[in-house]
Amino acid sequence: MFWIVSDPERRHQGLGRRLTVALCQAGLEAGAETAYLQAEADNEPAINLYASLGFRDVYQYWYRQQAW
């Protein structure tokens, strides 16, 4: 899952949780055995949500950008 974004005025209503659960359920029904997602390291609300759904850190990575 990439780039799940919610309107700030619609946050804290369970929309992200419902969407994540629905996407995982659709994956299971399609035969997926694992789910993979990414979250920014400083996005505590997202990390807490995903942890509450059973996701865990597997590894970290960094994007390298060329300085102009």
pLDDT in tens, 4-56: 888 889 989 999 999 999 999 999 999 999 999 999 999 999 999 999 999 99
pLDDT above 80 (res 65): yes
What DSSP character marks residue 56? -
Question: Minimal CA–CA distance to 53: which of 25, 8, 26, 17?
Answer: 17
The predicted pLDDT at position 63 comes to 83
- Mean of pLDDT over the chain: 91
What dihedral do alpha carbons 1, 42, 12, 23 form, nearest 10°? 10
Q: How confident is the model at residue 3 (pLDDT cuts 50, 70, 90)?
A: confident
To the question of pTM greater than 0.85 for the whole model, the response is no
